[in-house]
């Protein structure tokens, strides 16, 4: 076997374990170090996986300069994605950055500029893209089955699903529900139609549950949004209606929907993160007859066939390793996800200003 791919992990909190496990299961990868700003945390993380000889750092900049690395997983909280990603790219290291891409649009722009200068991979961690039914919906839309898509609506949401820890801190997470699960909805809706350019957004991002001790135990520390809605005008005459909630007095904000000139696709109950098929309905018209078809999965539910990683998260890690080995392309390109980030940024700006705002993405 050739040289192993040398991987580092930056940020060794909750999600880093879901990166570490697949990395350790791959014969062609070695994890060669880790970093966390909390003293001792990266050391304990490496030791937990038996990597007692691998160095631990407290500064991402020091880590990427001191250790020979091919790639890093950035698993820090949202507001430090940009600084860690840029440090790695500037050191000539490929990057898999967790979602959301960043907090502000400007940070995402800075990350892409650093990528352009470095000529390295920058992929963003939206693992639901590897889901089998999700890919099938994308393919159906690409096939032209529903004609030209003019309306997209996100669905889902949680009845009671406020997380704790750094997710409710403005300083660490920046966003609340929007950056946690809202960015997934945006990706699900817009990747299927190749991310048309967002032009304007009118939105509200607020909270009604996290700050109420009746519904949330840590209400006095809750600083972010738990509910947001937006109307986004997009290039090509596409309207995108977005909504997301960490908590509400209902089980769902509705179904995900793409309406086209020749048909519609509805995802009922959302895509199941454990790869069980949700209900996907194709609405069409055959010789004037209105036809509703249920789309059934015809093979195993994961688009990647790797023996050890039959789940979307591991498929995302494998996708990054493969891209590092072949030199690209970026599996989930930051250059595309910047439009997701621009919408999140626009939602916050619009909500703060109480009016519709324009979305302008600077030249990279
Ligand atoms: N893809 C998914 O399914 C998924 C699931 C959960 C979380 N996430 C994302 O992963 C990220 C981390 O979430 P988490 O639950 O692990 O949070 P966490 O707070 O448990 O862990 C983040 C860690 O990063 C460290 N850190 C912060 N800034 C740093 C810096 N500059 N340098 C080094 N270390 C730094 C913190 O000390 C902490 O240990 C978030 O962006 C979140 O949105 C993704």
Going by CA atoms, what residue is nearest to atom 40 of ligand 1? 77
Structure tokens that stand for 328 in this block? 């690209």
Distance 356 CA to ligand 1 centre (A): 31
CB-count exposure of residue 306 (10 Å: 0-12, 13-18, 19+): middle
Question: What pLDDT is recorded for position 309?
Answer: 38
Angle 105-118/81-90 helices, nearest 10 degrees?
10
Question: What pLDDT is recorded for position 276?
Answer: 53
Going by CA atoms, what residue is nearest to atom 5 of ligand 1? 15
Question: What pLDDT is recorded for position 49?
Answer: 98
Q: Is 76 in the pocket of ligand 1 (CB under 6 A)?
A: yes
Beta bridge partners of 160: 247
What are φ and ψ of residue 248, in 5° steps?
Answer: -170, 170
Output the CA–CA distances (angstroms, integers) from residue 241 to 96, 237, 238, in the order listed.
29, 13, 10
Question: What pLDDT is recorded for position 310?
Answer: 54
Distance 317 CA to ligand 1 centre (A): 16
Residue 95 · residue 235 · CB < 8 Å? no
Going by CA atoms, what residue is nearest to atom 21 of ligand 1? 13
Q: Is 75 in the pocket of ligand 1 (CB under 6 A)?
A: yes
Question: What pLDDT is recorded for position 1?
Answer: 64
Distance 168 CA to ligand 1 centre (A): 12
Mark 215-243 as b/e (b = at least 16 C-beta within 10 Å): bbeebeebbbbbbbbbebbbeeebebebb
Q: Smallest Cα–Cα separation from 106: which of 81, 126, 87?
A: 81
Q: Is 174 in the pocket of ligand 1 (CB under 6 A)?
A: no
- Residue 306 to residue 102: CA distance in whole angstroms: 30
Residue 346 · residue 340 · CB < 8 Å? no
pTM for this model (two decimals)? 0.95
Weakly modelled stretches of the chain, pLDDT under 70: 1, 271-278, 297-310
Question: What pLDDT is recorded for position 298?
Answer: 58
Distance 361 CA to ligand 1 centre (A): 26
Q: Is 15 in the pocket of ligand 1 (CB under 6 A)?
A: yes
Residues composing the chain: 364
Helices (H), the chain: 16-25, 41-48, 60-66, 81-90, 105-118, 132-142, 170-173, 177, 183-191, 312-326, 334-353
Question: What pLDDT is recorded for position 273?
Answer: 46
Domains parsed from the chain with CATH numbers: 5-127+307-332 (3.40.50.720), 131-302+340-358 (3.30.360.10)
Distance 298 CA to ligand 1 centre (A): 36
Atom number, ligand 1, closest to the C-alpha of residue 14: 16
- Residue 299 to residue 212: CA distance in whole angstroms: 45
Q: Is 260 in the pocket of ligand 1 (CB under 6 A)?
A: no
- Residue 340 to residue 344: CA distance in whole angstroms: 6
Distance 36 CA to ligand 1 centre (A): 10
Question: What pLDDT is recorded for position 295?
Answer: 85
Structure tokens that stand for 131 in this block? 């889901």
Residue 267 · residue 155 · CB < 8 Å? yes
């Amino acid at each position: 076997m050739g040289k192993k791919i040398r991987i580092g992990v930056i940020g060794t909190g909750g999600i880093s374990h879901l990166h570490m496990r697949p990395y350790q299961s791959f014969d062609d990868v070695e994890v060669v170090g880790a970093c966390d700003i909390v003293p001792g945390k990266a050391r304990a993380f490496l030791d937990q996986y038996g990597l007692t000889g691998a160095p631990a750092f407290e500064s991402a900049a020091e880590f990427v300069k001191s250790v020979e690395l091919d790639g890093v997983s950035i698993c820090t909280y949202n507001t430090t994605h940009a600084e860690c990603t840029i440090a790695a790219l500037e050191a000539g290291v490929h990057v898999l950055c967790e979602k959301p891409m960043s907090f502000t649009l400007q940070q995402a722009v800075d990350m892409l500029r650093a990528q352009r200068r470095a000529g390295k991979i920058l992929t963003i961690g939206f693992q639901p893209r590897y889901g089998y039914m999700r890919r099938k919906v994308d393919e159906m839309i690409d096939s032209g089955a529903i004609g030209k898509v003019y309306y997209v609506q996100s669905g889902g949401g949680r009845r009671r699903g406020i997380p704790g820890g750094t997710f409710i801190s403005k300083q660490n997470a920046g966003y609340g529900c929007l950056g946690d699960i809202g960015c997934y909805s945006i990706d699900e809706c817009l990747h299927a139609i190749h991310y048309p350019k967002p032009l304007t957004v009118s939105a509200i991002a607020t909270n009604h549950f996290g700050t109420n001790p009746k519904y949330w135990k840590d209400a006095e520390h809750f600083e972010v949004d738990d509910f947001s809605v937006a109307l986004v005008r997009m290039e090509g005459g596409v309207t995108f209606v977005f909504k997301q909630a960490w908590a509400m007095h209902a089980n769902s904000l509705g179904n995900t929907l793409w309406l086209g000139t020749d048909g519609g696709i509805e995802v009922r109950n959302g895509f199941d993160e454990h790869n069980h098929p949700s209900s996907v309905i194709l609405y069409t018209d055959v010789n004037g007859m209105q036809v509703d078809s249920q789309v059934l999965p015809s093979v195993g539910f994961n688009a990647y066939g790797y023996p050890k990683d039959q789940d979307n998260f591991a498929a995302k890690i494998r996708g990054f390793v493969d891209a590092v080995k072949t030199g690209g392309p970026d599996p989930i390109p930051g250059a595309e996800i910047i439009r997701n980030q621009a919408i999140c940024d626009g939602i916050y700006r619009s909500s703060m200003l109480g009016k519709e705002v324009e979305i302008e993405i600077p030249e990279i």
